[in-house]
Amino acid sequence: MTDGRHPPMAQQAQGGTAPILLRTIGLTKRFGAIVAVDGLDLEVRSGEVFGFLGPNGSGKSTTVGMILGLIRPTAGRIEFRGRDLAAQRTAATRAIGAIIETPAFYPFLSGRDNLRALSIAAGGVPERRIDELLELVGLRERAGSQYKTYSLGMKQRLGIASTLLTDPELVILDEPTNGLDPAGQREIRELIPMLARQGHGVLLASHLLNEVQQVCHRVAIIRRGRLIQTGTVAELVQRDAYLELFLPAGDLERAAAVVQMLPFVGQVTVVDGRLRIVAPREQGATINRALAEAGLYASAIVPRESSLEDVFLELTEDDQPGERRDADVATAA
Amino acid sequence: MLPLLHSELFRLARRWMPRVLLAILFAIVGVLYLLFWTVMQTGSETSSDIQDLRENLRLAAVRDTGLSLVFQVGAVDVIILTSSLIGAEFGWGTIRTLLPRARSREALLAAKTVTALLFVVVTVVTGTVVAFGASAFVTAVEDLPRGLGPDGVVRTLAAIGRTIYAMVPYAALALMITTWTRSVAAGIGVGLSVLFLEGLILSILGAAGDVFDRVPGALISRNVQTLLNANGAGLDQRFSGGDGDLPPQWRAALVLGLYSAVFVAIAFQRFRSRDITAGGG
């Protein structure tokens, strides 16, 4: 895995200076009257892990399908390394590795032969590369067993190995830890940042928001096919950041009145006997001084951030569970 | 396309299906020869039927008797395998894994089409070898005339070529139906229906008198029959049936070629424009 071919670019990627690997411009897909993806603009850079989030049926898999050439866009463009992706499909067969939804392989072939068959189709890779990948995903012992005898976790591991077969510049992982035991999930969580450090761009679609928060540099959240939020994980979790003040119960009302007078303070609420103030975390000292001048003394001022899960749920809260448009799309198509 | 073709052959070589289909061909052709031989032994040597049977089982007649049997069984094999080559990718969902590795959709379907054609060739060649083996056995045991007759090798090779050509429309039909429906069962069902029911349909149309006079010549089976009958040219007997009102060879070849081209073109057009969504379809 660590062949050193790619320079470490994760830092650059986080700073937004690494080259853009994949860009979608106004990407749209309609299935009849259903708009599955609606004018989506995304950018994935070399050396970054880009989280792609959205509720079921929000258009994630349709977007990935369009990037992989499985689904024809109705409108918009996909660029890879600055050029139209459709015009460089041959190069893309080796430069993009992906698993989309559940992994699918030939049931009558062994895990090793499945990788061989895919490598042949993509123009061939050395046999030792297949050995390395089987070792990496912990399948070496079962490499000779037929795929149909594999557990869900083993199938998922083989799927991850197949994405890395040609050492692609862009790795697309759709729910990569699905079916893995906790140890397996942890291995994959460690593998993903490693790929980014080697210079691969990683597009990670996942429902496991804790996982995304741990490994992604930037995320995009889509809902009903539309991009509703994009930014670094830090930006998103600080979007609803607040300060929590610990004060005697009798002082809460007066303290609330004092801090509300400060110009940078937003909403002030009392939650569970604590004062919750929407304000920049660096203003903690100013708040403390204002309280002290009013004869109020906080025993603690703690900056709090929302989790990515909180942000995600807030942004997508009015999506009803019944609105599963990928399912509609599968039927419509 | 070559890497994709290589990958197709790599996978096909590891599947049981082609081996089982060829084993069935081997068994049926062998058993039928054995059956003919058994009948030949039980009948009177002076009977004209038995004399015909002796003629049909000698080595020179393999290009007629043998290849007719190979066509009947082999076409079934070819329909099944071609349907599976395409339909199983959708059924297993592997189309989603394989297609992103392909230079283009056209290249992927072209690789599958060539694989199906190679299987047609392998089927006919294997069947011919089995028929020659069975005929050689009967020839040796019954002391039938040896040798392939005048221009026997050339005529046999031409017969193999004609039989391969006659099988191609059925492979193309299975390719088109399976690509269209994404279903192995549909490809096999429609392919076998056309293979076996066309004759019945022709009989029904024939009962209508002159109204449908021109229809049989435009269908697949009558043109296939023309080519298979041509395999027996130069032989005294005609296992594949009388010439009757069959179309000329050139027209039969043209009609079958047109069918194959149209079926393949429709398959490519459908595959090119199809969205591969969840579950492979």
| Residues A232-253 pLDDT 10s | 877 777 767 788 889 888 888 8
Q: Closest to B104 (Cβ–Cβ): which among A89, A100, A102?
A: A89
Interface contact A93-B14, CB threshold 8 A: no
Share of chain A above pLDDT 90, in %: 26
Residue carrying structure tokens 């090798």: B153
Residue carrying structure tokens 């197949």: A162
pLDDT for position A30: 93
The most confident of A3-17, A311-325, B65-79, B231-245, by mean pLDDT: B65-79
Angle at A28 (CA atoms; ends A62, A207), nearest 5 degrees: 35
CA atoms within 13 A on the CB side of A324: 7
pLDDT, mean over chain A: 83
Q: Is the pLDDT of residue A330 over 60?
A: no
pLDDT for position B235: 65
Provide CB contacts within 8 A for A13, sequence distance 6+: A45, A46, A47, A48, A196, A201, A217
Chain A residues near any Cβ of chain B (below 8 Å): 31, 61-62, 65, 68-72, 89-90, 92-93, 96, 98-109, 113, 116-118, 120-124, 162, 326-327, 329-330, 333
Q: Does B103 touch chain A (CB under 8 A)?
A: yes
Across A208-212, B117-121, B175-179, least confident range? A208-212
Across A210-214, B36-40, B85-89, B109-113, least confident range? A210-214
Question: Does residue A329 or residue A77 have the better pLDDT?
Answer: A77
Pairing type for strands A170-174 and A300-304 reads unpaired
pLDDT for position B281: 43
pLDDT for position B239: 55
- The CA R_g of chain A, rounded to the nearest whole Å, is 24
Provide CB contacts within 8 A for A95, sequence distance 6+: A80, A81, A166, A168, A169, A170
Provide CB contacts within 8 A for B202, sequence distance 6+: B215, B216, B219, B221, B222
ipTM (interface pTM): 0.85
Interface contact B277-A62, CB threshold 8 A: yes
Q: Does B118 touch chain A (CB under 8 A)?
A: no
Across A84-93, A113-122, B210-219, least confident range? B210-219
Confidence of residue B116 (pLDDT cuts 50, 70, 90): very high
- What CA–CA distances, in Å, run from B225 to A295, B74, B113? 107, 15, 24
Q: What is the dihedral of CA A321, A322, A325, A326, to 10 degrees?
A: 70
Question: Does residue A215 or residue B236 have the better pLDDT?
Answer: A215
- CA A333, chain centre distance (Å): 27
- Per-residue pLDDT reduced to its tens digit, A142-162: 989 999 998 888 888 899 899
In A, which residues are within 8 Å of B100 by CB distance?
Answer: 68-70, 92-93, 96, 98
